Amino acid sequence: MIPGNQHRSTQTLLALFLCLLFGVLWKFIPHPAVAIAIGLAPLAILLTLNQSFLMVLLFVVFSFFRIHEVFPELYNLKIPLFLSMASLGALIWHVGLTRKIEAYWRPELTAVTLFFGLVLLGTLMASNRPIAIEYFKGIYWKIIIMTFAIAWLSRTARDFALASRLITFFGTLVGLVALSNKFNGIGMVEETRVTIGRTIGSVLGDPNDLALVLMFPVAFAASLVMTASLGRSTKFFGLLSVLILFSAVIATQSRGGLLGIMAIFGVYGYRRIQSKVLFYSLGGIAAIALFVLAGISDRASGGAAEAGIDASAMGRLFAWEAAYGMALHNPFTGVGINNFYSNYFFYSPHWDGLNHAVHSTWFGVLAETGFLGLTVFITTIVMLVKTSIHSLQRIEQNLNRVDPAIHATAQAVLAGLLGTVVSATFLTQGFTWPIYILAALVVAVARWVDSHLPPALATNIIKA
């Protein structure tokens, strides 16, 4: 069939489908709003199919940044649900039916898929299967699908630019709300630590989880500032976002968040400061200044008022010991995704009457997927870091042939990955969005580099 006839056939089938849908809905809901909805449906479908990457990005942004909880007025609109339907529909249409988007493969995707498989196996073998299945079907399967969607749909400089700016923009919105809550004393924990949506049970009601959400876009905002060829307005937007996000992370008083921020800034600084003695000296001074500025010593838990090893640190040590016990008892599958909390009582050497979170990516993955899962997880992270470094090396050897948006994204994913690795000691990220978004962008950038640039020369990009 020639393209013109195929296009007309598709339009005819769509028109027939909408007429049939209108007839069925009118029979059960004889209301004028049905006619309006059906009339708008073709526009919505066209928008979804023509802006597939935007739909996927918006779904990821709403799911990760919890925008509908940051702004509760949006909660009842079910925006994440509609975006998920649009994203899946567009992905099936372009990848599975029209084949306009190539579903390519890379070694990094093999490692990520193997880890997904181990998580699924652990879910089926979980000690508390209902809890594991609920988390898997409610959150984790979406992360799996969108990891591949972002990797396959990120193809052009425009896509990478859109990803960097949307992540920065919505992260900044969350930062502004966090600072507003801090200023007005809303949702404070331990009297000094800011949260968002605590009264409605939001994930951001935990200051450590909020710090994770705020830390993630810092790498993208900083890349907008540090990429030389971007315009002044973009640099100003990036600088303003960095200041807002940095201040908001400080307001959470999260040690993991501060470590992540320092690591991200450290990556950019290390590659630009020629004297490494000066770099380490400035880094040490900055670390002390951050600790004082964040008021960590004033925290009710983990502050200077607690002698010796503070309660917060001891709680983590007990949790990590419990995680090791869970993996020792279930070396190949762990206790199952989202099962650490419910198993804490059975494996903790110190019971204080409450279950506790693990507050560590490494120990969380160890507990919930076993030694095998942790090995694959660490291997995946190492592969992603190496691929990110290699891609950035090739980009910076061919800057005259590379759009600044791609250079900015390549810098952001490397800084974001290293920031994630550093903060992982105190923040639980093994089964949440950041690592997988970064993984997808690492794969997408590597794919673009392989398709457009010559092989790399032998240099060390970290010292470039």
Encoding tokens for residue 446? 């590597």
Q: What is the number of domains present in the chain?
A: 1
77 occurs within a structural domain: no
Contacts with 291 (C-beta within 8 Å, 6 or more apart), sequence order: 258, 297
What is the number of other CB atoms lying within 10 angstroms of the CB of residue 462? 13
CA distances from 333 to 123, 328, 337, 360 (A): 8, 10, 10, 18
350 occurs within a structural domain: yes
Measure the CA–CA gap between 202 and 194, rounded to whole angstroms: 13
383 occurs within a structural domain: yes
11 occurs within a structural domain: no
67 occurs within a structural domain: no
Can you give the pLDDT at residue 306? 41
203 occurs within a structural domain: yes
Measure the CA–CA gap between 256 and 360, rounded to whole angstroms: 9
Contacts with 211 (C-beta within 8 Å, 6 or more apart), sequence order: 249, 252, 254, 256, 257, 258, 260, 427
Is residue 438 within 8 A of residue 167, CB to CB? The reply is no
**DSSP assignment letter at 336:** -
Write down the residue that tokens 């579903």 correspond to: 103
- Sign of the dihedral through C-alpha 149, 151, 152, 156: positive
Is residue 416 within 8 A of residue 434, CB to CB? The reply is yes
Measure the CA–CA gap between 14 and 18, rounded to whole angstroms: 6
342 occurs within a structural domain: yes
Encoding tokens for residue 163? 């990803």
423 occurs within a structural domain: yes
- Structural Rg of the chain based on CA atoms: 24
Work out the angle between the directed axes of helices 232-252 and 157-184 (0-180°, nearest 10).
40
Give me the domain span that covers residue 248: 106-463
List per-block mean pLDDT (blocks of 10 residues) for the chain, which spans 464 residues: 50 56 57 53 60 85 91 84 80 74 90 96 94 93 92 90 94 95 89 89 89 92 88 91 94 87 89 80 78 60 44 76 92 93 86 78 94 96 95 90 92 93 86 92 94 71 50
Number of H helices, E strands in the chain: 19, 0
What is the number of other CB atoms lying within 10 angstroms of the CB of residue 190? 14
Can you give the pLDDT at residue 456? 65
Is residue 212 within 8 A of residue 364, CB to CB? The reply is no
Is residue 358 within 8 A of residue 323, CB to CB? The reply is yes
First-to-last C-alpha distance (Å) of the chain = 54
**Which uninterrupted H or E stretch holds 281?**
helix 276-294
**DSSP assignment letter at 136:** I
